[in-house]
Structure 1
Amino acid sequence: MVKFYKDILNRLEDDIHNLVSEIDDTIVLSESIIKLILKHVAQMKLFIAEKGFKDVNEEIYFFKHLKPSILSKLIYYNAIYKIETKKPFGNRKNIRKYLKVELYKLKRFFDNNRDFYKYYRTNSTYLDHKYFVRSSHDIKLCLDTFYFEADHSFSTSHDYKVAKIIANDLIQVYIEDQLNSTSKQRKNEGSMLNWTASKTALIELIYALHAQGVFENGNADIKLIAKSFESFCNIDLGDFYRTYLELKNRKLNRTKFLDTMHESLLKKMDEQDER
């Protein structure tokens, strides 16, 4: 069972990595990853239905550790999809207010599940037979309503909560990164331009300019170029070298942004010639 799970997880992570390197749009990326994860979850569910568990300890291990590590990815990308599709346009103050509300939702989940957080974070096991064994729920443990509508052949009373805890940590990092980004934009507001295409597109452009040697007769360090663009474009590029490696590993169209930019410029010139 563990080997089967690890094979699924490895394939899933490879597929997610490929999608991240090929899709720039966060909403489109999240939607694609959600569909991908659902397929892998279905495979895992079918395997459990056919093979079952050799004993209760294996069942507990699966629902406490294995299933949540994949389910948390589904919760995370679904949350990012919702955050991005509902994010207000334009006014930076409204965007920050919206993101802070999303952070508050995470805190509210923590407050409502404080006891279970403590149980899980401290690696406790004395209630595992109730939390992570199917059809062994205890109504006195304040179960979420959705549990009673779940597929009890593939769910326990608390495996979803473990996945939610894992996902919420990642969601918090994502939201705080968004807030930090808007703070930097506000500091530079009025004196800089805002880069509104994807970070991957800008990194592709930066490396192209570096490869062309257009700064300091080709002697400028890539880090200095990247930092200059971060300041000028009001953006935090993060680990831009890692993104560049993902660009190199793209299966299709490694210079997608540059190719599109080339086509757009030619189209504009042609349109102007026709006037």
Structure 2
Amino acid sequence: MENLCFDLLSELEQRLLDIDSRRYSPIEKCSEKVKICQELTGTLRELYLEASLNTVPKQIHFFKEVKPKFFSELHYNHRMITFYKDRPRGSTKLKDKYINQCMEEASSYMQKHCEFRNYINMKSDHMDEVYFTKREYCPKLHGSFEYPLEPEFSSPADPTYSCLLAADRFMQFLKNEKFALKNPTLDPSWEYQKTLDWQGSKTDLVELVYALHAAGKLKGDLKHSFAVMEKALNIDIGNYYRLYTDIKLKKNPDSLLEELKTSLLEKIRQENQ
């Protein structure tokens, strides 16, 4: 099942990128993405119900690492549709007020689940069996979480985790909108000029980004990290999930990291002479 989920996640990523490349309005893009997410979450549900995840590690992996990637994308785009529909057309002051209201709502939700959010951000795992395995929702253990709407396809915590991922992402979007609102005369070419040219391979860059995430040096989801890297380094990475699979199959999967370590130590040695 792991390979099937990986392929489905790759399909989700590719189809979302395809929507971003089209000349749709923002609300049209989000609407199309919601349709894609609904289709593929339905497929994911079928895969789960047909599979036998009969071990705790398999269940934790599915409900903590796989399912939230699909459903957080769905929740995020639903929220974006509401944002674009309700966004006022009036003065800058009115628009800023609306953004602040949205930020307060997202912040309130994150604060409501701050303990669980800290558990996730600290990469804790001591409660994973209670949070991310298939079991009956228990108010004493799980009362702080959203009640799962599909108990047969949920762990107690994964619906809340998906919503938190979406809220974090929406909050970052709102911060960017607020910045743009306060800097309407900023030349868009300024950001484009602040780029570097990546001289390594795409696989090298994928190895670097995954390593930074694994070490907890980058926060947020991988999709956002790669989008920022592509813009900053002037490169089209493409399907990074597939490249990461290739890295895992390599005899020496950390070849770039070894090269960077060797180069840095050599530079320090030469400068210390």
Assess same fold via TM > 0.5: yes
Deviations 1:36-64 (A, max 9, x none): 01100000100111113131210111101
Contact 2:142–2:157 (CA under 8 A) maintained in structure 1: no
Deviations 1:204-250 (A, max 9, x none): xxxxxxxxxxxxxxxxxxx58x88xxxxxxxxxx98x96x999xxxx
Larger relative contact order (Cα-Cα within 8 Å, sequence gap ≥ 6): 1
Deviations 1:60-118 (A, max 9, x none): 11101111111111111111111111111121111101101111112111221111112
The whole-number CA distance in structure 1 between the counterparts of 2:89 and 2:76 is 22
Q: Does 1:67 align with 2:67?
A: yes
The whole-number CA distance in structure 1 between the counterparts of 2:119 and 2:176 is 29
Identity of aligned residues (%): 19
The whole-number CA distance in structure 1 between the counterparts of 2:134 and 2:141 is 15
Return closer, same or farther for 1:34/1:21 CA change in 2, 3 Å cut-off: same
The residue correspondences of 1:215-226 to structure 2 (distance < 5 A) are: none
The residue aligned with 1:14 is 14
Contact 2:45–2:153 (CA under 8 A) maintained in structure 1: yes
Unpaired runs of 5+ residues, structure 2, are 194-226, 237-273
The residue correspondences of 1:136-215 to structure 2 (distance < 5 A) are: 136-141=136-141, 143=143, 147=147, 150-185=149-184, 188=185
Which secondary structure state, in structure 1, belongs to the residue aligned with residue 21 of structure 2?
Answer: helix
The whole-number CA distance in structure 2 between the counterparts of 1:130 and 1:31 is 35
Amino acid at match of 2:4: F
Unpaired runs of 5+ residues, structure 1, are 200-222, 228-237, 247-275
The residue correspondences of 1:46-125 to structure 2 (distance < 5 A) are: 46-125=46-125
| TM superposition outliers: structure 1 runs of 4+ over 6 Å | none
The whole-number CA distance in structure 2 between the counterparts of 1:77 and 1:21 is 16
The whole-number CA distance in structure 2 between the counterparts of 1:179 and 1:12 is 29
Return closer, same or farther for 1:108/1:78 CA change in 2, 3 Å cut-off: same
Amino acid at match of 1:161: T
The whole-number CA distance in structure 2 between the counterparts of 1:60 and 1:6 is 16
The whole-number CA distance in structure 1 between the counterparts of 2:235 and 2:121 is 35
Contact 2:19–2:29 (CA under 8 A) maintained in structure 1: yes
TM-score, scaled to structure 2: 0.66
Quick check: which has more Rg, 1 or 2?
1
The whole-number CA distance in structure 2 between the counterparts of 1:90 and 1:111 is 30
The residue aligned with 1:129 is 129
Contact 2:145–2:156 (CA under 8 A) maintained in structure 1: no
Contact 1:129–1:136 (CA under 8 A) maintained in structure 2: no
The whole-number CA distance in structure 2 between the counterparts of 1:120 and 1:245 is 31
Amino acid at match of 1:90: G
Amino acid at match of 1:173: Q
Which secondary structure state, in structure 2, belongs to the residue aligned with residue 153 of structure 1?
Answer: helix
Return closer, same or farther for 1:76/1:99 CA change in 2, 3 Å cut-off: same
TM-score, scaled to structure 1: 0.65
The whole-number CA distance in structure 2 between the counterparts of 1:158 and 1:145 is 6
Deviations 1:162-202 (A, max 9, x none): 212222221111111111111012xx5xxx9xx9xxx9xxx
CA-CA distance at 1:160 after TM superposition: 1.4
Q: CA RMSD in A?
A: 2.8
The residue aligned with 2:271 is none
Q: Does 1:29 align with 2:37?
A: no
Contact 1:131–1:137 (CA under 8 A) maintained in structure 2: no
Return closer, same or farther for 1:127/1:146 CA change in 2, 3 Å cut-off: closer
